[in-house]
Amino acid sequence: MSGSPPPTGGFVRRVGQFQATAINMSQMCGIGPFVTIPLMVAAFGGPQAVIGFLAGALLALCDGLVWAELGASMPGSGGSYVYLRQAFQYRTGRLVPFLFVWTAMLFIPLIMSTGVVGFVQYLGYLAPGLGRTSGDLIGLGVIALVVVLLWRGIEHIARITAVMWTVMIASVVLVIAAAATDFSPHRAFTYPAGAFDLTSDHFWLGFAAGLTIGIYDYLGYNTTAYMGAEIKDPGRVLPRSIVFSILGIMAIYLLLQIGTLGVVDWHRMADPHDVASTSVASAVLEETWGRGAADVVTVLILVTAFASVFTGLLGGSRVPYDAARDRVFFRPYEKLHPRHRFPTLGLATMGVITAVGFLIGRHTDLATLIQLLTTVMVLVQALAQIVALTVLRGRRPEMPRPYRMWLYPVPSVLAFAGWCVIYAYADKNSPGRHPVEWSLAWLALGCVAFLLWARVEKVWPFGAKEISEEYTVVAVS
């Protein structure tokens, strides 16, 4: 993966351009827009909520270009772990990559848990009498099924993912087509008074909440970066899979958002007792093509939700593997399945945390869960990785870069500013939940864990720094 043959018994490069883009798009779309359109409308207080999806797209594209350059230059398993390890080893040893893996083991499963929460919400449309306990048990069963299906070789998973990607596209296209048959411009583009008052605190509070929801909907454009050691011709395939998936999902989201607002009155989406607040896509189909069509599309959406959890755990379970193999995380995580060559403990751990996050989301609310997971990932992944790109350009100019960020450093600056806005407004958008404080507490706990681990392993600050400048030769297929 760094110009040399991969380690014996390691990953095999089998995922091509179409499959890589499909994996990203399945994770990005999934259940996200089907459950967050009402949340976005509630945050903005009207159909001007489309601003949130546009802002999220801009942040995703700018941040995606960061991932594209880093992923093309260092196509190993683990994604951010690899990039942070290479950038920050000179001053803080293994601290930053350890903290990334520490936080990733939390925020990646939390993202997956939101997909399972959405799955149960839409299942409630088909079974209106579904109780809380029954929904909890069904959600836990879905998570168990995902883990069982992932307990196999990557070549089988790639084929399964391609099928589920087709179902995802079909469900989105049907909702967009249904909305187009009964679209009302008056309903979609009639805004409440003061909707665009830029001098109002209410607008910027809504914008920050909408940006958080928007970037949550786009999360997943980096899934293949976590699988860099399994991507064919990564210097070419990785950047394209990121950019293609962001642009494709942006077009889909805009059509979906505007079409939905043109069929279902936004006041219904803001009413927690209306079916449009939990199953808005089903409400669109029921309004346009009738209950039978709504049921069919709801089933497709359930498959889409399942696909997003499937692909998310597929990529996320690879994160602790490379770290453990390089002695930057707990050693048991470096073991691969003896036959199918996938990280067993990483997959099992993230499956358990996904189940816990699902139960938290079910017994609080989805918006709170989204705020919690975004604040956890901002400091050690999003902001640190943007800094890492600049550090590596300065320290490692000789590193081959098959792709270099367009208009550098403008996208980096915009991405950094966007993530700072999300973090700064997190507490205000989740009153009483304190997501910022929880994220700082988790980070502090990670620092304590690192010091204990470093003493056992006898590495910095209890030993010498170990500098490893990998990726000095262009990775080949």
Question: What pLDDT is attached to residue 7?
Answer: 44
Overall average pLDDT of the 63-77 stretch: 90
Do residues 117 and 302 make contact, with C-beta atoms less than 8 angstroms apart?
no
For residue 320, give the nearest of 340, 339, 352, 348 by alpha carbon. Answer: 348
Condensed to tens digits (0 to 9), the pLDDT of residues 460-476 reads: 888 887 787 777 654 44
Place 4 in a pLDDT band, splitting at 50, 70 and 90. Answer: very low
Enumerate the domain spans of the chain: 17-457
The CA-to-CA distance between both ends of the chain, in Å, stands at 9
Bond from prior residue into 409 cis (ω within 30 degrees of 0): yes
Exposure string over 205-238, b if 16+ CB within 10 A, otherwise e: ebbbbbbbbbbbbbbbbbbbbbbbbbbbbbbebb
Q: Where are the alpha helices (DSSP H) in 364-434?
A: 366-377, 384-395, 410-424, 426-429
Query: Could you tell me which residues are beta bridge partners of residue 231?
Result: 15
Question: What pLDDT is attached to residue 5?
Answer: 39
Query: Could you tell me which residues are beta bridge partners of residue 336?
Result: 343
Overall average pLDDT of the 380-402 stretch: 92
The yes-or-no verdict on residue 477 having pLDDT over 50 is no
Cα distance between residue 468 and residue 325, in whole Å: 14
Q: Give me the CATH code for the 17-457 domain, please.
A: 1.20.1740.10
Question: What pLDDT is attached to residue 63?
Answer: 96
Condensed to tens digits (0 to 9), the pLDDT of residues 183-212 reads: 999 999 999 988 888 888 888 999 999 999
The yes-or-no verdict on residue 85 having pLDDT over 80 is yes
Question: What pLDDT is attached to residue 294?
Answer: 93
Condensed to tens digits (0 to 9), the pLDDT of residues 276-333 reads: 988 999 999 999 999 999 999 999 889 888 887 887 787 778 778 877 887 888 888 8
Question: What pLDDT is attached to residue 6?
Answer: 43
